[in-house]
């Protein structure tokens, strides 16, 4: 009788520490079933009958393809258009006003959405700018959106969405910016071309150094998956990625004041956001 492969407590600890070093994500004991299920799935896909054999592949495969496949499986991509819309209102009503007021050149305004997930946030930002920011005619805006998950980036570039993802999009905007494709809606090509998608591991310093000179960063509901050390390191990387005076928006359950002292708290009428000081302290 064949023995079914299993993940021991020791295996789980080894994997958890390894994955944490690679991604900054720390799986609590309560996530054990979630982790085990996905490890066993990848073990079967790579014909590894033991965790030891699979873990060797994961650590030493030259291409890193299996690690990326596992990362894609482990990441959670649950979002929808205009989530926490008050921050978009803050973008067009307050943050961009400050940014253009002190701008001394015609360099593009750069907005970074990370993680991109399946693209609802960056496309939503683009729609919001088109609909609610009159100065868009006078300024070039670059929207870059990044994720660690290569599969979700492909999905984001396609821009195909179900009714559920679009539940908060008003009918006029649905007709204006989307087209029906079978049972789904697809972002129109002109809007898809307005967003640049890139792969980034926010826990990798080299990856983060390649993304610089942003005026606004949206990083919502990512840091809740990190421990305190990873949160602080990632916050420092975002600080370096921002222009002086730039802003970062976090999820409603996240507070930069509990993560890093580098940023100033800004309480705008629409939302609380965090700002990189104009001058070094």
pLDDT band at 281 (very low <50, low <70, confident <90, very high): low
C-alpha angle 73-79-82 in degrees, rounded to nearest 5: 155
**pLDDT (tens digit per residue) in 26-65:** 888 888 988 999 999 999 999 999 999 999 999 999 888 8
Lowest model confidence (mean pLDDT) among 15-24, 126-135, 233-242: 15-24
Per-residue confidence (pLDDT) for residue 170, from 0 to 100 = 95
Per-residue confidence (pLDDT) for residue 191, from 0 to 100 = 97
Average pLDDT for 78-99: 94
Task: Reply yes or no on whether 147 is catalytic.
Answer: yes
Q: What is the helix (H) or strand (E) element at residue 223, kind and residue range?
A: none
Domains of the chain: 9-74 (1.10.155.10), 85-275 (3.40.50.150)
Are 198 and 112 a contacting pair, CB within 8 Å? Answer: no
Q: What is the helix (H) or strand (E) element at residue 246, kind and residue range?
A: strand 242-250
79 annotated to a ligand binding site: yes
Q: What is the DSSP letter of 167?
A: T
46 annotated to a ligand binding site: no
83 annotated to a ligand binding site: yes
**Smallest Cα–Cα separation from 90: which of 275, 260, 276?**
275
Mean pLDDT, the chain, as a whole number? 92
Q: Which of 32, 38, 103, 192 is catalytic?
A: 38
**Smallest Cα–Cα separation from 243: which of 133, 105, 139?**
105
Per-residue confidence (pLDDT) for residue 80, from 0 to 100 = 87
147 annotated to a ligand binding site: yes
Are 226 and 26 a contacting pair, CB within 8 Å? Answer: yes
Sign of CA dihedral 65, 70, 75, 77: positive
**pLDDT (tens digit per residue) in 182-217:** 999 999 999 999 999 999 999 888 899 999 999 999
Q: Is the pLDDT of residue 77 over 70?
A: no
Per-residue confidence (pLDDT) for residue 183, from 0 to 100 = 93
Stronger pLDDT, 78 or 91, i.e. the higher one: 91
pLDDT band at 4 (very low <50, low <70, confident <90, very high): low
- Residue 33, classified by CB atoms within 10 Å of its CB into exposed (0-12), middle (13-18) or buried (19+), is exposed
**pLDDT (tens digit per residue) in 127-162:** 999 999 999 999 999 999 999 999 999 999 999 999
Q: Is the pLDDT of residue 2 over 50?
A: no
Q: Is the pLDDT of residue 280 over 70?
A: no
Phi–psi pair at 204, nearest 5 degrees: -105, 115
Average pLDDT for 60-82: 84
Are 188 and 179 a contacting pair, CB within 8 Å? Answer: yes
Q: Which residues contact 182 (CB under 8 A, 6 or more apart)?
A: none
Phi–psi pair at 108, nearest 5 degrees: -60, 150
pLDDT band at 3 (very low <50, low <70, confident <90, very high): low
Q: Which of 11, 42, 110, 147 is catalytic?
A: 147
Residues in the chain: 281
Task: Reply yes or no on whether 29 is catalytic.
Answer: no
| CB atoms inside a 10 Å sphere around CB 215 | 24
120 annotated to a ligand binding site: no
C-alpha angle 128-267-87 in degrees, rounded to nearest 5: 20
The token pair that represents 157 in the structure block: 């570039």
CA atoms within a 13 Å half-sphere pointing along the CA-CB vector of 219: 27
Determine the 3-state secondary structure of 15 from DSSP: helix
């Amino acid at each position: 009788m064949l023995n079914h492969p299993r993940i021991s407590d020791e295996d789980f600890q080894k994997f958890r520490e390894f994955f944490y070093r690679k991604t900054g994500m720390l799986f609590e004991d309560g996530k054990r079933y979630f982790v085990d299920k996905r490890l066993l799935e990848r073990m079967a896909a790579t014909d590894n009958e033991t965790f030891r054999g699979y873990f060797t592949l994961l650590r030493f495969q030259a291409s890193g393809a299996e690690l990326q496949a596992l990362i894609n499986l482990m990441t959670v991509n649950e979002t929808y258009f205009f989530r926490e819309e008050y921050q978009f209102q803050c973008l067009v009503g307050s943050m961009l006003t400050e940014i253009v007021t002190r701008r001394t050149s015609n360099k593009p305004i750069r907005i970074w959405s990370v993680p991109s997930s399946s693209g609802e946030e960056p496309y939503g930002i683009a729609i919001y700018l088109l609909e609610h920011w009159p100065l868009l005619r006078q300024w070039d805006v670059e929207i870059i959106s990044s994720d660690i998950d290569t599969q979700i980036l492909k999905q984001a570039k396609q821009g195909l969405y179900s009714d559920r993802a679009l539940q908060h999009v008003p009918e006029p905007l649905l007709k204006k910016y989307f087209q029906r494709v079978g049972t789904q809606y697809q972002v129109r090509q002109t809007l898809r071309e307005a967003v640049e998608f890139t792969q980034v591991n926010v826990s990798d310093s080299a990856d983060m150094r390649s993304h610089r000179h942003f005026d606004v960063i949206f990083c919502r509901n990512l840091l809740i998956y990190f421990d305190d050390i990873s949160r602080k390191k990632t916050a420092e990387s975002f600080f370096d990625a921002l222009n002086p005076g730039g802003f970062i928006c976090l999820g409603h359950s996240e507070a930069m004041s509990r993560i890093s002292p580098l940023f100033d708290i800004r309480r705008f009428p629409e939302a609380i956001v965090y700002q990189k000081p104009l001058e070094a302290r």
